[in-house]
Every structure is written in structure tokens, then in C-alpha cells.
Chains A and B, each alone.
Chain A
Amino acid sequence: MQMPEPRADILTGRARIVERLRAALPPGAVIDDAIELKVYECDGLAAYRCPPMCAVLPGSTAEVSAVMRICNEEGVPVVPRGSGTSLSGGALPTADSVLLGVARLNGVLEVDYDNRFIRVEAGRTNLSVTGAVEQDGFFYAPDPSSQLACAIAGNIAMNSGGAHCLKYGVTTNNLLGVTMVMADGEVVEIGGAHLDAGGLDLLGLVCGSEGQLGVVTEATLRILAKPEGARPVLVGFDSSEVAGQCVSDIIKAGIVPVAIEFMDRLTIRAAEAHVAAGYPDCEALLIIEVEGSAGEIDDQLGRIIAIAKAHDPVEIRESGSAAESERIWKGRKTAFGAMGQINDYMCLDGTIPVSELPFVLRRIGELGAEYGLDVGNVFHAGDGNMHPLILYDANKPGDLEKAEALGADILRLCVEVGGCLTGEHGVGVEKREIMTAQYGADDLEIQMQVKDVFDPQWILNPAKVFPLEVSAGRRS
């Protein structure tokens, strides 16, 4: 992975730029000490690191606006950062950039149960949005695995999903409005407490734009009444293909579980070794969760189990209590960490049509064998969003590059079968160069023209999303 050469003219102006930012922000909001900057040198894609020229931590929309005004005047790239949990390098700085962290913007501005929304500052963590309303029986639906740490700002930038988006949709389906600071510092309000746009759907455009169109400082989010209860069933199969068929049959039967999660043998064993969740040792495992009252849950699980039984499962375990539910989920929720115990890993995020699941799983196995790398699969099966985990050894020279090449091959495979490069992690730097596998020249050009409208100077997160060569003319 390459990043553009830092611009010498910006680096020579560093002292002046830092000075101007200091003058505009309260004490302590500008960080330029080399040791303190280490915190900001990478995000969740820790294989790539580069400290920014400086970091700023504004505490209000007005302060974000002041930062953007200065950076726009100076022509300095700005890399926005929520909590830094991105798995695609969305918050990876360049040496000539100002890293803009929104972590201090974490307040709740308004809670409105009659109209079912909450307005928060965008640095607030995903889980603490639900935390602000759950005592009154409400929740915020999108639930990325990193929800304890990740910020709403980053969720909006990457249009994050989560295990439960099969029923509730992803961020864009739950976002009502934003306050956003434009590249030139102007503050714009898009959407609000009402539904849908009165003109062009700018909100739909901003969501998932990876911090390239503006810095979101406040968000109005839909909140929903919590269901009365939820309960999973775990089903083990001795073939991935059969597990995939079972998923299809459940969906075709008209049942909408809130989540259908899939784990393969490698991740099942890793999870067992890690937390001893009591999973069966089998080729494929599904965790299917439904919601409702006790009676509604029984009814739905009964139908799901009847379908599963027709596929010769090696084990069916229906949760009968909160403790059993927790145990069923435990292995899944800690699966990434469990894989990390085995080795370093690279987590992919391609989405495929659900019908292609058996073929894609088989091909991933074959590709892994060709590269001599193990690949674990744990993912959201209901919506086809795969998370192949490529195991590699960061200390072994050449292993990272090999994993990157395998990753690119797997993502190309996802596109070939009718899917896409990324379902919820974003393109960032990780998938930037293979965007051409999914999009033609005009498809990319029109997206870059959208950025031209929002950010004519291309100072917002410029070295992301588009292949470097394709965006070179605009970034210079």
C-alpha cells in the first residue's frame, strides 16, 4: 500500500500552521509533540502507520469550522477521525496532514421520544447513544462490532452496519440529519427531525462518503422502541454449502430474523480455544436470532428449527435463558479477538449475493491454499456481508504483502459474483487501488466530481477511496 509523498511546501509551513491552529483553539486542543502524535498514527488497520503533521481536538462545531477555514486557506489536507476504529485505514494520516479528531464532541443534545429521535454530537460512541435512551426502552439500531468504541462520526463516514442490520438497516437507513462543516469552514444543516429530503438527497450522499465531503459534527438519529425480548438458536452443519442453503430457505420462508451469523471451522475452533463457548466442532455454524414477545419468539424459532432440521444439522441448540443466549453469542462476538490469538490477521469486508455463498467459500479456501495462508470466515450471512480473516505473520518479511494480494483476489472474487468490495468497513486506503475492479472510469469520475462540488481543493481525506493515480490530478 502506498501513500502520496507529503508536500514539501506544507511541511515547511508546519510551524505557522500549528501556530494559527493554536491561536484559533482553546489550550490543549492542538497536539504537535512527536510522542503524543503516535496515538494518531494509525487506526484499526494497524499495519499502516504515519504520524500526522499535527492533531487537533476541537470541542464545538465552531471550533471545527475554525480549523477547516485555516486548513482551507493553507491548502493543508485534513484527515477526520472518529474513534480511530476503522478497519480500512479511513483515518490513516499523511505526514503533511492535520488530523481532526472529534472525540471531544460527545454530548447528547436532544432526546425526543414522541418523535423517536436523538440528536448527538458526532464523536459520541455508538453504544453510548443507546446508553442515553435505553432506560426509557429505546435503542439505536446499527450495531457494528466495535460499537463500544466507535464514534457516530465514523459510522456515518463508513455507513456502518452490524449484526442486526438484516432487520434494521445500516446507518444510512437510521440517519435523519447532520450538522456538517464544509471544507471551507461553512456550517451546513442537512435533514432534521423529519423524513426524507425536500430536494436532492444530500444526506444519502454524505453517509458513506468516508470523511471526504465534510466533517460531521452533529447527527440526528432514529431511535426505536426495544423489542420485548430476543433469543438465538445455534445450528451446526457438516458442510458450509448446506448452511448456506439453510440461510436461503429461512429467508425464502418469509421469516426475518434480526441476525443470521455464520462461522466456519477455523473460527469455531479459535473461538472455542479463546472463550470455550461450547460450540460443536463442525464445518459451519449459524447463530440465528429473533425478537418479540416470548410467544412470538417461540413461534419464529419453531419455524426456523423446522427448516434447519430438514438440512441434517449436527447440532441444534435453542437458547432457553439470557445466560444461554449470552453463551451462544460469546464465541461470535469474540471471534476476531480469538483469531488474533492465533496470528496477525487482515479482516476483509466484501459483500456477495447470498446465493453465491457456497461457491465463494470454496473459492476462498482454494485461493488461501494457493497463497499458503489460512483464511477464517465469520460473517453476516443474512445479507451476504463476508468477513474473511486472512492469517499472516507481521514479523515474517513478505507475509503482509502476500496477505494483501490474497485479500485483493478475494475481493475481486466478490465483485465477479455480483457483489462489492466493501459492505461496511469502507474503501479507505485498503481497497482504494482495486476500486477499478468494481467501477469503470466514468463511474469513478462522476464520484470525484461530487467531491469537487463539496471540496473543490480536495483537502478532506484526499488520499482515500479513489486509486491514487486516478485522483492524482485533483490532489496536486
Chain B
Amino acid sequence: MKITSEQELAEAIRGANGPFRVRGGGTRDIGKPVVGEALELGMSGIELYEPAALTLVVRAGTPLAEIEAVLAGEGQRLAFEPMDHRVMLGTKGEPTIGGVVAANVSGPRRIQAGAARDFAIGARFVDGSGRIIKNGGRVMKNVTGYDLVKLMAGSWGTLGVLTEVSLKVLAMPETEATLVARGKDARHGIAALAAALGSPWDITGAAHLDPGVAGPESETRVRIEGLAASVDYRIGALQREICAGWEVLRGDESAALWRQVRDVAPFADAPVVWRLSVKPSATPAISQALGQAGLGHAALYDWGGGLMWIAPDPEHDDGGAEAIRAQIAAHGGHATLVKAPADLRARIDVFQPQTGAVAALSRGLKQKFDPRGILNPGLMG
């Protein structure tokens, strides 16, 4: 069903007899396979853009590319650097802003600027009962009632269908540069990233790539952005204190490195890919333990090590779920099976299974927002 207005959406949901599969641009086929009628959202267009107020209000179906082009025209951008899942998942279509927010999609700059959820300052959505709801607004500071915008961000269309989002935007920096070291093992690489992130030099990207991921040797990368003189100053300071002997790449060369990290491009051919959000310093030990468990994997570490992308040997019957979830149990955080054949996703928990009170709260919220269970049922488990 193709939906072109909020009112139409509310009516469709109110009158629904069966479940819906909520789709933005269709580029993020993630989660448990959902059985239901496809609900395709066509509401598109920028409703308000005030560069001087750093705010953008946009219909949920607006293509991300259109938004980025308009922002670039004013020297601004979405600072949370949303990942383009098409690269890794091999999907087609145009990512929409609604999909980005619904999936809380961020990139390398998340560690410094924040996640999609941090930039989402207002939303309109239709819940599972067909109620049209607004929450938040178009101002950056707002504690008027509960923050349902955060709840909607990352709820993957299971609580409601976004129709409009308000976002904070930021200025593009004058320039960027990346410091690169090669040949460090994960432990040393991530320790170097921690030192850089613990420095006053405002790092906006901190990644480590295992050998074989982006080249024969490992790569450890640190990004700096800002005014040209400031970037030069901070490169000098980092080279003096932490990154002695690291190669410096600038401008487009630097940007290409981070597009590769953002989109997890090295795992484009891997049939199974996991995403782990964990305490950064725990990741080398996690990787080692997974190796010992016979996962035969390669890892790409973003967010100073706190975001681990793992492509395990696809021979494992459970995609490595048991070994990976055991590590989460030991170290905290969460693991999501972002890429896998549908039959594997149907068999195992794609999102981190929840227990106790957290599980009960999540179930309770789903029940209130979607009492009939018709919005992406089962997608998050």
C-alpha cells in the first residue's frame, strides 16, 4: 500500500485487518523477517529549513540524498553521519530520513557529535491505533513532557510510523584530515584511539581495521575536522603526543577513508555481519575470545573500539550467535545481526534479547503503542 499523507496513513492503520511491513526507502532489510502488507511511505519534502537556527523539519519519506544536498547548499550537514546500508547489504533504493531516524542510524562521528537520536528533536507519527501523535518540536532544548522522539528513534517502526521529523543540523567544517598508523594489533590500536579520544583535540572519528579488512596490514585511523589552522595545530599536537610517525591524509582522501568505515564497505561481500556496541576497551578481548571460539572472523572497530563490526566465517550454523552473545553477557552492551540470509534471521534473535524488567517495559510499551501488534510484528524479537 502506497501512502501519501499522514491522514491517509492514520486511516489505513485504523482500518487494518492484518499486519504491516513498514518501509521507508527499503534499503535496510534488517531484523526478523516480517510477514505483512508492505506500507510504503511516500510523504516527501522539506517543510522548514532555518540554517541560522540549525533546524530542519522534513517529511519522513524525504530521500536522505535530497536533504544532504539542500544542507550542503548552506554549508551544513547531518553531523551524525548516517551509514548508507546499501553498500554492505547490497540493497537498492533510496534511503529516507524516516528510515534513518527509525533505525537510529549513525556513523563514525557519533562518538563526538552524537547519534541520530541525539539530533532528532521532534517527530510526528501514527501509532498502531491510528492516532496521530506529535512530540518534541523544532527547538534544541525541550523538556516539555516525555521524550518520545528518543523512543521512536531506534524502534524500527514497531511503535509507530514516523510522518515528520525535526532535526538539529550543524555546519560543515572548513576541512578535515586523518592520521593513519599501520600494523598495530587491535589492543595497541584501540589503546591509541583511547589516548586520542582522551586528549583535548576533539577527535571526530576513531577506527581500527584488522589486517585483511582494508588492506594486508591493520589500519588505525584518527580524524580531525574544523578550521584549517586548527586542524593543522591539532595534527601537530597529536603527532607530538600520541600519533608519532602516523601518516596524514587530507581532504577527499581523508573523507574516503571514513565513508568506507561509515558504510562498513569492506564487509560488502560477507554473507553474515554482526554489529556490537560495547565498552571500547573490552573489544580486543572480545575479538580474541571469538577467535578462540573458532569464529574465524575479521573485525572493523569504529567509535574508538566501542562499535565492533564482525564478519564471521559463514559456515557457523548460528552465524556465530552463541559465541557473540556469550561475550555480550560477559562484557555488557548489545549485539545485532545486521546482515544474514532471511532463514538465519528467522531462526535466531537478530536484536539483543532482553530479560527481566527491561523486557517487560519494552513489551508494555509495544502493547500501549500498538495494542493489535500490527506494526512490524516480531521485527525486534
B67 at the interface (CB under 8 A from A): no
Q: Which chain B positions have C-beta within 8 A of A195? A: 110-111, 115, 277, 303, 306-307
Residues 396-444 (chain A) with a chain B CB within 8 angstroms: 418-427, 431, 435, 438-440, 442-444
A113 at the interface (CB under 8 A from B): yes
Tell whether, in the assembled complex, residue A252 and residue B137 are in contact, meaning their CB atoms are under 8 Å apart.
no
Tell whether, in the assembled complex, residue A204 and residue B139 are in contact, meaning their CB atoms are under 8 Å apart.
no
Bound together, the chains give a CA A161 to CA B141 distance in angstroms of 8
Q: Mark B114-147, 1 if CB is under 8 A from A, else 0.
A: 1101100000000100011111011111111111
Which of the segments B178-186, B192-200, B208-216, B262-270 contacts the partner chain?
B192-200
A227-B200, A351-B141 are known contacts. Are A172 and B358 too (CB-CB below 8 A)?
A: no
- How many of chain B's residues have a CB under 8 angstroms from any CB in A? 87
Bound together, the chains give a CA A158 to CA B146 distance in angstroms of 10
Cross-interface CB contact of B55 among A192, A353, A424, cutoff 8 Å: A353
Tell whether, in the assembled complex, residue B131 and residue A442 are in contact, meaning their CB atoms are under 8 Å apart.
yes
Shortest Cβ distance from residue B228 to the other chain A in the assembled complex, whole angstroms: 9
Shortest Cβ distance from residue A377 to the other chain B in the assembled complex, whole angstroms: 16
Q: Mark A333-359, 1 if CB is under 8 A from B, else 0.
A: 000000000000000000111110000
Shortest Cβ distance from residue B107 to the other chain A in the assembled complex, whole angstroms: 12
Tell whether, in the assembled complex, residue B368 and residue A196 are in contact, meaning their CB atoms are under 8 Å apart.
no
Bound together, the chains give a CA A426 to CA B295 distance in angstroms of 49
Tell whether, in the assembled complex, residue A113 and residue B198 are in contact, meaning their CB atoms are under 8 Å apart.
yes
Tell whether, in the assembled complex, residue B145 and residue A351 are in contact, meaning their CB atoms are under 8 Å apart.
no
Bound together, the chains give a CA A187 to CA B154 distance in angstroms of 24
Q: Mark A378-391, 1 if CB is under 8 A from B, else 0.
A: 00100111000000
A116-B197, A190-B358 are known contacts. Are A351 and B142 too (CB-CB below 8 A)?
A: yes
| In the complex, residue of chain B having the shortest beta-carbon distance to the beta carbon of A203 | B150
Tell whether, in the assembled complex, residue B170 and residue A446 are in contact, meaning their CB atoms are under 8 Å apart.
no
| In the complex, residue of chain B having the shortest beta-carbon distance to the beta carbon of A456 | B364
Which of the segments A24-32, A41-49, A121-129, A293-301 contacts the partner chain?
A293-301
Q: Which chain B positions have C-beta within 8 A of A468? A: none
Tell whether, in the assembled complex, residue A446 and residue B233 are in contact, meaning their CB atoms are under 8 Å apart.
no
Tell whether, in the assembled complex, residue A252 and residue B51 are in contact, meaning their CB atoms are under 8 Å apart.
yes
A320 at the interface (CB under 8 A from B): no
| In the complex, residue of chain B having the shortest beta-carbon distance to the beta carbon of A253 | B171
A116-B198, A199-B351 are known contacts. Are A295 and B142 too (CB-CB below 8 A)?
A: no
Shortest Cβ distance from residue B290 to the other chain A in the assembled complex, whole angstroms: 17
Cross-interface CB contact of B139 among A182, A196, A252, A420, cutoff 8 Å: A420
Tell whether, in the assembled complex, residue B139 and residue A192 are in contact, meaning their CB atoms are under 8 Å apart.
no
| In the complex, residue of chain A having the shortest beta-carbon distance to the beta carbon of B281 | A114
Tell whether, in the assembled complex, residue A252 and residue B52 are in contact, meaning their CB atoms are under 8 Å apart.
yes
Bound together, the chains give a CA A114 to CA B194 distance in angstroms of 5
Q: Which chain B positions have C-beta within 8 A of A431? A: 144
A169-B114, A422-B144 are known contacts. Are A114 and B198 too (CB-CB below 8 A)?
A: yes
Residues 93-124 (chain B) with a chain A CB within 8 angstroms: 104, 106, 110-111, 114-115, 117-118
| In the complex, residue of chain A having the shortest beta-carbon distance to the beta carbon of B115 | A196
A165-B141, A420-B137, A450-B365 are known contacts. Are A208 and B118 too (CB-CB below 8 A)?
A: no
Which of the segments B14-22, B82-90, B312-320, B330-338 contacts the partner chain?
B330-338
Tell whether, in the assembled complex, residue A196 and residue B104 are in contact, meaning their CB atoms are under 8 Å apart.
yes
Bound together, the chains give a CA A454 to CA B358 distance in angstroms of 10
Residues 243-264 (chain A) with a chain B CB within 8 angstroms: 248-249, 251-256
Q: Which chain B positions have C-beta within 8 A of A249? A: 52
Tell whether, in the assembled complex, residue B140 and residue A383 are in contact, meaning their CB atoms are under 8 Å apart.
yes
Tell whether, in the assembled complex, residue B279 and residue A442 are in contact, meaning their CB atoms are under 8 Å apart.
no
Tell whether, in the assembled complex, residue A450 and residue B368 are in contact, meaning their CB atoms are under 8 Å apart.
yes
Tell whether, in the assembled complex, residue B53 and residue A450 are in contact, meaning their CB atoms are under 8 Å apart.
no
Tell whether, in the assembled complex, residue B279 and residue A192 are in contact, meaning their CB atoms are under 8 Å apart.
yes
Q: Which chain B positions have C-beta within 8 A of A207? A: 147, 150
Q: Which chain A positions have C-beta within 8 A of B149? A: 204
Shortest Cβ distance from residue A153 to the other chain B in the assembled complex, whole angstroms: 15
Q: Mark B235-269, 1 if CB is under 8 A from A, else 0.
A: 00100000000000000000000000000000000
Tell whether, in the assembled complex, residue A292 and residue B280 are in contact, meaning their CB atoms are under 8 Å apart.
no
Q: Which chain A positions have C-beta within 8 A of B323? A: none
Q: Which chain A positions have C-beta within 8 A of B153? A: 201, 204
Tell whether, in the assembled complex, residue A442 and residue B132 are in contact, meaning their CB atoms are under 8 Å apart.
yes
B230 at the interface (CB under 8 A from A): yes
Tell whether, in the assembled complex, residue A426 and residue B143 are in contact, meaning their CB atoms are under 8 Å apart.
yes
Tell whether, in the assembled complex, residue A450 and residue B144 are in contact, meaning their CB atoms are under 8 Å apart.
no
| In the complex, residue of chain B having the shortest beta-carbon distance to the beta carbon of A249 | B52
A225-B198, A440-B134, A446-B148 are known contacts. Are A384 and B365 too (CB-CB below 8 A)?
A: no
B50 at the interface (CB under 8 A from A): yes
Cross-interface CB contact of B135 among A138, A443, A451, cutoff 8 Å: A443
Q: List 25 A-B contacts (CB under 8 A).
A: A113-B194, A161-B141, A188-B358, A188-B361, A196-B117, A196-B277, A198-B336, A200-B154, A201-B154, A202-B362, A204-B151, A205-B148, A227-B202, A252-B51, A253-B171, A296-B233, A351-B137, A351-B141, A352-B139, A419-B137, A423-B142, A435-B144, A435-B145, A449-B369, A450-B151
Closest 3 CB pairs of A and B: A204-B150, A198-B334, A254-B171
A contact residues vs B (CB 8 Å cutoff): 112-116, 137-138, 158-159, 161, 165, 169-170, 172-173, 182, 186-190, 192-205, 207-209, 225-228, 248-249, 251-256, 292-293, 295-296, 299-300, 351-355, 380, 383-385, 418-427, 431, 435, 438-440, 442-447, 449-454, 465
Q: List 7 additional A-B contacts (Cβ < 8 Å) besides A190-B358, A199-B351, A248-B53.
A: A169-B114, A173-B114, A187-B357, A199-B334, A201-B151, A424-B141, A424-B143
